[in-house]
Amino acid sequence: MTAVVEGTGLTKRFGTGDATVVAVDSVDIRIETGELVMIMGDSGCGKTTLISLLGCILTPDAGELRIDGERIDPVNEDLSVIRHEKIGFVFQLFHLLPYLTAVENVMVAMDIASTKTNVAEKRATELLTQVGLSERVHHRPAQLSGGEKQRVSFARALANRPKIIFADEPTANLDSRQSDNLMNLIQELRREYQTTIAIVTHHEGLKENADRIIQMKDGRIVTT
Amino acid sequence: MKTLFLKDMRYRRARVVLTALGITVLISLILLLGGIMNGMRIQARQYVESTGADVWISAEGSGGAFIGFSMVVEEYMAFLNSGPGLAPDSASPLVFAQARPTVRGKSSKAIVVGYKLGQLGGPKQAVEGRMFTRSNFEDYRPEDPVPYEVVVDEKMGLEIGEQITLSNEKVRVVGKAKSLMFVLDTPLLFMDVRIAQKLLLGNTPHVNMMIAKTAANEQPLQIAAGLDALETIEARTLKQTLTDIIAYYVDEPMKAVQFLRVMLWLAAGILIGMITYVTMLEKTQEIGVLKAIGGSNGYVMGLLLKQVVLISAVGVVLGLILSYVFAAAAPIFVAINFVESIIVVCISFVVCCGSGYLAARKAIAVDPMIAFRGEI
């Protein structure tokens, strides 16, 4: 198998002097194509920092990162291009733009990638249909339930056909029924689009959906 | 999605409308203040130009025409009326003094213009009624029995035969002159120069200036320079006199207004910069999310700047329109110069966009990590 994301010796510190916190400490990680990985651990163990490093939102203080086989140079490369070309993000609090409808929220990701509006609208509508929201395409986030918002969020993450989707606690604000539905959807989307997915979660009940569990503690990977 | 920034503006329409309105009011105030000053300059010019004089003469050290007082003695008159380069017998004495006449029981403001009927300095005929009785100015006699008569501005609303009080004396309105308001819509009261001296200058043989025409084919600048070279006389051309009168009656007293205009410009810039910045602070989460999902700084900046440009453009254009509406309704003469207003609008637009740009630049420095925290 080939690795979509491969990090070697990834380290991230916050603060200076005595107040320095090593959020991610010399982590080696490899996520294979098509995998559904769950990154678990206690609060503050560095899960979100790790996916921020792997998703090119943060730049590591040490270590090397490869995405889709290419070495990332955070100093000389425009990381925003990597983010919209190769990575999709799903956030715990959905973060849909309140003034846009569901379809427009999905289109934004394609707008960033300079996709033509008519092409973007067609794909956004298809993706929303895929996630079961064909009837809610023109609804604003305020008119959607938590589960529906998270579906729109997944559709947005898929919009630019990313190599990998990082989801940060995607079920944290959903009830158990909505969580189950979302996990079923994730499995479905993964089969449909052969997308690699890495999910950060506390939710022990989701473990059974994962191909692999990465357990973190104090900024390090303890089991994988 | 070309309309993304418009959708955001529509969502925050209350703030957008208030910002645009703020700019509108500030720009219209800037233009109105400029229009008031412009109106004052036009009114200051129009009387001076209407006299038809080429050379303006005052006594050396008097402070100049329209400002100080000059003693007029027969020798002056004789010299000027036969003077080198001046049209024969064109020299005419002129009193130009601010006064507070009582009109229909109310104190009002006016400029008294005292001149020799038929000569330079005032109208030759009335548009209604008749002109005042002429004195024999050259034959100066303190007890001169000339009647107290005045020709008033047709827009003062006075009737022929009415009386106004000037320096405790009753003066009869005998005619109306074509309207020719001075600075800040101050009406002109035309009367014989001797009556003006009696009422306003303590019946002394003083005038504010002598005015004259140059002889045919003579250059006013050279003639004025020749007269000015004499030790006892200050002489100015029409152009120089206009510069003096505009400086004295408009530019000097309106320095504070000029300062206020600059302050208003700054206020417009600060207003849009501040509102843009506050709006950006409200949107940091949103900006962070856009960056997290791959939006470059340029992309986010583009969205913000489009809003700033649109709000600024709407604000300044509405300000321009509103200033013309206010100017038409203003109780004083306001002359907004179109070219000047376009320049003001362009500069204001740049100031607003500039401050909005600075605020937006600060806002796009948001760390995309913020997307993992808090709510939009």
Q: Which of A43, A80, A101 to mutate to test the interface with B (most CBs of B within 10 A)?
A: A80
For residue B151, the model assigns a pLDDT of 96
How far is residue A209 CA from its own chain's centroid? 16
What does the angle CA A92 – CA A94 – CA A100 come to, to the nearest 5 degrees? 170
The verdict on a CB contact (< 8 Å) between B369 and A57 is yes
Q: Which of B156-160, B314-318, B345-349 has the lowest mean pLDDT?
A: B345-349
Where residue A181 sits, what CATH number does that domain have?
3.40.50.300
Mean pLDDT score of chain B, rounded to an integer? 87
- Mean pLDDT, to the nearest integer, of A118-135? 94
A111 belongs to a structural domain = yes
| Residue B23: band (very low, low, confident or very high) from pLDDT cuts 50, 70, 90 | confident
Question: pLDDT grade, residue B207 (50/70/90)?
Answer: confident
Asked, for residue A13, whether it belongs to a domain, the answer is no
Residue B286 has pLDDT above 90, yes or no: no
Sign of the C-alpha dihedral, residues B319, B321, B325, B331? positive
Q: Which residue of B has its CA nearest to A84?
A: B294
Q: Would you state the torsion angle of the CA atoms of residues B118, B123, B126, B131, taken in this order, to the nearest 10 degrees?
A: -40
Q: Which residue has the higher pLDDT, B313 or B138?
A: B313
Q: Residues of chain A with pLDDT > 70: what percent?
A: 100
pLDDT digit string, tens, across residues B57-89: 888 877 777 877 777 666 677 777 776 788 888
- The whole-angstrom separation of Cα A71 and Cα B248 is 75
Q: A4-20: per-residue pLDDT in tens?
A: 999 999 999 998 888 88
Could you tell me if residue A1 is inside a domain? no
Q: What are the structural domain ranges in chain B?
A: 4-43+253-372, 55-213
The beta-carbon neighbor of A99 closest among B2, B7, B296 is B7
Q: What is the ipTM of this complex?
A: 0.91
B293/A89 touch (CB, cutoff 8 Å), yes or no: yes
Residues of chain A above pLDDT 90, percent: 69
Of A87 and A194, the one with more pLDDT: A87
* Chain B residue whose CA is closest to A158: B293
Quick: pLDDT tens for A66-123. 999 999 998 888 899 999 999 999 998 889 999 999 999 999 999 999 999 999 999 9
Largest Cα–Cα separation, chain B: 98
Share the mean pLDDT of chain A.
Answer: 92
Chains A, B: CB pairs < 8 Å? 83
Nearest to B286 among A78, A83, A97 (CB): A97
Average pLDDT over residues A125-134: 92
Task: Compute the distance between CA of residue A165 and CA of residue B346 in angstroms, rounded to an integer.
Answer: 47
Query: Is residue A146 a part of any domain in this protein?
Result: yes
- A61 within some domain: no
Chain A closest CA to B42's CA: distance in Å? 52
Enclosing domain of residue A113: 36-48+78-223
pLDDT classification of B353: cutoffs 50, 70, 90? confident
Model pLDDT for residues A19-45, shown as the tens digit of each residue: 889 999 999 999 999 999 999 998 889
Share of chain B above pLDDT 90, in %: 38
Domain tally for chain A? 1
- Is residue A159 assigned to a domain? yes
> Is residue A64 domain-resident?
no
Alpha carbon distance A61, A3 (integer Å): 22
Q: Which residues of A touch B (CB under 8 A)?
A: 48, 52, 55, 57-58, 78, 80-81, 83-85, 87-89, 91-93, 95-100, 104, 107-109, 111-113, 117, 120, 156-157, 160, 168
The region of weakest confidence among A140-144, B52-56, B220-224, B369-373 is: B369-373
Residue whose structure tokens are 């962070």: B288
Residues of B within 8 A of A156 (CB-CB) are: 293
C-alpha distance from B4 to closest chain A C-alpha (Å) = 8
pLDDT band at A55; cut points 50, 70, 90 = very high
Contact between A112 and B297 using a beta-carbon 8 Å cutoff = no
The pLDDT, as a whole number, for residue A213 is: 95
pTM: 0.78
Is the model's pLDDT at B276 over the cut of 90? no
Q: Is the pLDDT of residue B188 over 90?
A: yes
pLDDT in tens, B115-146: 999 889 999 999 999 999 988 776 667 677 78
A145-161 average pLDDT score: 93
